[in-house]
């Protein structure tokens, strides 16, 4: 695959069942992101804070979010997953937040093939500490850079699927017409 954002077969991406591309493994302080020109990942920065990513973090190909990037996804798994790995997932919820005053949505997803997590179908079923870690991370991870983030709320799988569909539609409008 030459471009991790654009070159995924569209049949592999739906609101219920999608391939996530991992950019950052759980426990990392390295902030990789999509380099839009090449379609590869590039090291954006090392986090300024002592916090680390609470889950595997990546993107959903062929989506276009309000921030002009692919839709973000947190992949909950019993294992760390290496950057650039493709993981077949389903959504169980979404975290909405403001990042420097702009809406930023993070889909919470589960790998179909992780027996420790694949019995969860809604974020309300998760142990509360998992979500507390995510909420804390996203509320402080840019503080020492002088940037503000505010975690608004979490919602279940129906809202996550609606957001994914909207971002799939926005991608088609932006890149396929």
Cα gap 132→66, rounded to integer Å: 25
Structure tokens at 143: 């503080």
Q: Which residue has the higher pLDDT, 146 or 163?
A: 163
Which pTM does this prediction carry? 0.95
- Answer whether 157's CB lies under 8 Å from 122's CB: yes
Mean local confidence (pLDDT), 118-127: 97
Which range has the worst mean pLDDT, 36-40, 80-84, 86-90, 115-119?
36-40
Query: Is position 46 within any domain?
Result: yes
Does residue 5 lie within any of the structural domains?
Answer: no
Is residue 37 assigned to a domain?
Answer: yes
Residue 32 lies in a domain: yes
Task: Residue 33: give its domain's CATH number.
Answer: 3.90.80.10
Asked whether residue 2 is domain-assigned, the answer is no
Which domain covers residue 56, as residue numbers? 10-175
What's the pLDDT band for 156 if we cut at 50, 70, 90?
Answer: very high
For the record, the structure tokens of 16 come out as 């219920």
Half-sphere CA count of 21, side-chain side, radius 13 A: 25
Q: What is the length of the chain?
A: 177
Distance CA 136, CA 142 (A): 11
Mean pLDDT of the chain: 94
pLDDT digits (tens, 9 = 90+) for 3-40: 999 999 999 999 999 999 999 999 999 999 999 999 99
Judge whether 98 lies within some domain.
yes
Give residue 1's pLDDT band: very low, low, confident or very high (50, 70, 90): low
Residue 153 within any structural domain of the chain:
yes
CA–CA distance, 176 with 29 (Å, rounded to integer): 35
Sign, CA torsion 158/163/167/170: positive
- The encoded tokens of residue 10 equal 């569209």
39-74 burial, b for 16+ CB within 10 Å, e for fewer? eebeeeeebeeebebbbbbbbbbbbbbeeebbbbbb
Q: How many structural domains comprise the chain?
A: 1
Token pair recorded at residue 121: 């179908």
- Check pLDDT > 60 for residue 52: yes
Whether residue 4 lies inside any domain: the answer is no
Q: 174 phi and psi, to 5 degrees?
A: -75, -40
Query: Can you tell me whether residue 97 is helix, strand or coil?
Result: strand
- What would the pLDDT profile of 89-104 be if each residue is shown by its tens digit? 999 999 998 877 778 8
């Amino acid at each position: 695959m030459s471009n991790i954002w654009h070159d995924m077969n569209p049949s592999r991406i739906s609101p219920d069942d999608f391939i996530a591309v991992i950019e950052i493994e759980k426990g990392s302080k390295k902030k990789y992101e999509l380099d839009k020109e090449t379609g590869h990942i590039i090291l954006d920065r090392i986090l300024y804070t002592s916090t680390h990513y609470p889950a595997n973090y990546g993107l959903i190909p062929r989506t276009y979010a309000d921030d002009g990037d692919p839709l973000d996804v947190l992949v909950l798994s019993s294992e760390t997953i290496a950057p650039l790995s493709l993981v077949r997932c389903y959504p169980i919820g979404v975290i909405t937040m403001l990042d420097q005053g702009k809406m930023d949505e993070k889909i919470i997803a589960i790998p179909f093939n992780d027996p420790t997590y694949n019995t969860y179908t809604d974020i309300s079923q998760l142990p509360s500490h998992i979500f507390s870690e995510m909420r804390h991370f996203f509320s402080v991870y840019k503080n020492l850079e002088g940037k503000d983030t505010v975690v608004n709320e979490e919602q279940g799988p129906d809202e996550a699927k609606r957001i994914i569909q909207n971002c799939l539609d926005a991608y088609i409008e932006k890149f396929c017409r």
